[in-house]
Amino acid sequence: MTVEIIGISVLWLFLFGYVIIASIDFGAGFFNAFTIVTKKNHIVNTVIQRYLSPVWEITNVFLVFFFVGMIGFFPSTAYYFGTVLLIPISISIILLALRGSYYAFGTYGTKKGHVGYTLMYGITGVLIPASLTTALIVSQGGFIHTTSSGRIELDYIGLFTSPFAWSIIVLSLVSVLFISASFLAYYSSVAKDRKALYLFRKYTWIWSFPTIVTALGIIIEMRWHNPSHYEGLLSLWWLFALSFVCFIVSLWLLRKQLYGKSFIFVVLQFAIAFYAYGVSRYPYLLYPDVTIYDGFTNETMAYTLIVVFILGFMLLIPSLYLVFKLFIMNKPYIQKGK
């Protein structure tokens, strides 16, 4: 295995970590806001707060981690993505900033939480995946053009009128809600909060099918959008089939009321599809301009980063375990909120 492959695998792992954790977070914010509108907030409020409060900061770190690692391992992506994505990523930053601070203002600043803050938290949470997904869509190729003066620029009209781009945005939205509902169903079952459990179980069912339908649709659309990538996807058909099996198993477990296991299969489903997608685009970071080989950093830095990464992880894993033990897997905490 070459050091380039190790680098991109590490980053892909972080991106996947962010996708799962952020999905739970974004979805929780959305459900919290949505249930205020439908006047069911009292049912889900406690469960969501108990989960979110100690972990909300950690979510952001995953994003910065991915991003800093990307520049570290593949500095030339900084030039391409930085130049092209100024507006979409700035919008994401603004939304993330509003969301993070409104969460803190709402949760710690007021006694009972503030309706305006909560709604803001929900709305920004749905818009962020959409704006962040732009980076993924652009990396597929086809949306960057070079101006007469030699500048590279994002083709906004092409992007906004592309059904392919919109399908990916829809997929990111529905999968956020699906992953989140599945996790919160599990979390409320541990909390023995029956009402919240029923609601989240319902949401999981509602959001599961659009997720799988859009995902299949995108694979088909790829045939016209980027034929070589389509070939790549087809050659990995068995992985996508495995991911689909995990999807079916997760729904079956949901029916059997085994919520924890159901959530594990949801994560597996996404992990397999996410990695298969990543492998299928090999070796391109930005089609067709940057591959993982020509955009790679110098060897010394790459090895140093990998060593530091391992050392850092030896520090992080016990700490994350502590968080899990104290909050996420801790029954008395979840049930009493103590």
Partner 1 sequence: MDSVEFSRYLTMMTLSVHVIYATLGVGVPILILIAHWLGLKRNDEHYLLMAKRWARGYVITVAVGVVTGTAIALQLALLWPSFMEFAGQLIALPLFMETFAFFFEAIFLGIYLYTWDRFKNPFKHFMLLIPVLIGGAMSALFITSVNAFMNTPQGFALVDGQLTNIQPFLAMFNPAMPTKVGHVLTSAYMTTAFVLASIAAYHLLKGSRHEYHRKGLALTMKVALIFSIATAVVGDFSGKFLAEYQPEKLAAAEWHFETEEEAPLVLYGVLTETNEVKYAIRIPYALSFLVHSNFTGEVVGLDQFPEEYHPPYIVHYFFDMMITIGIGLTALALFYIVALYRNWSFIKTKLFRRLLVASGPLAMLAIQAGWWFAEMGRQPWIMRGYMTTAEGATDSPYVWVMFIAFAVLYLILVVGTGVVLSRMFKNNPVEKELERQTDAKGGIAK
Smallest gap from Cβ 25 to partner 1, in A, equals: 13
Query: Measured between alpha carbons, how far is 279 from 12 in angstroms, rounded to an integer?
Result: 10
Q: Which is nearer to partner 1, 104 or 241 (CB)?
A: 104
| Residues 132-191 contacting partner 1, CB under 8 A | 151, 153
The label of the residue with tokens 């799988």 reads: 212
Contact between 228 and partner 1 (CB under 8 A)? no
Contact between 96 and partner 1 (CB under 8 A)? yes
Smallest gap from Cβ 13 to partner 1, in A, equals: 15
Q: Which is nearer to partner 1, 79 or 282 (CB)?
A: 79
Contact between 322 and partner 1 (CB under 8 A)? yes
Contact between 67 and partner 1 (CB under 8 A)? yes
Smallest gap from Cβ 29 to partner 1, in A, equals: 14
Q: Which is nearer to partner 1, 52 or 174 (CB)?
A: 52
User: Which residues, listed in sequence order, are joined to residue 146 by a DSSP beta bridge?
Assistant: 152
Query: Measured between alpha carbons, how far is 87 from 260 in angstroms, rounded to an integer?
Result: 39
Mask of contacts with partner 1, 240-279, x by CB under 8 A?
----------------------------------------
Q: Single out the residue of 27, 29, 72, 125 in contact with partner 1 (rule: CB under 8 A).
A: 72
How many C-beta atoms surround the C-beta of residue 200 within 10 A?
A: 29
Contact between 81 and partner 1 (CB under 8 A)? yes
Query: Measured between alpha carbons, how far is 232 from 234 in angstroms, rounded to an integer?
Result: 5
Smallest gap from Cβ 224 to partner 1, in A, equals: 30
**Which part of the chain contacts partner 1 (CB under 8 A), choosing from 17-25, 102-110, 227-235, 244-252?**
102-110
What letter does residue 38 receive in the DSSP assignment? T
- With H, G, I as helix, E, B as strand and everything else as coil, classify residue 187: helix
Contact between 57 and partner 1 (CB under 8 A)? yes
Q: Which is nearer to partner 1, 46 or 205 (CB)?
A: 46
Got the DSSP string for 93-134? HHHHHHHHHHHHHHHHHSSS--HHHHHHHHHHHHHHHHHHHH
Smallest gap from Cβ 205 to partner 1, in A, equals: 32
Binding-site ranges for partner 1 (CB under 8 A)? 53-55, 57-58, 60-61, 63-65, 67-69, 71-73, 75-76, 78-83, 85-87, 89-91, 93-94, 96-98, 100-105, 108-111, 151, 153, 297-298, 300-301, 304-305, 308-309, 312, 315-316, 319-320, 322-323, 326-327, 338
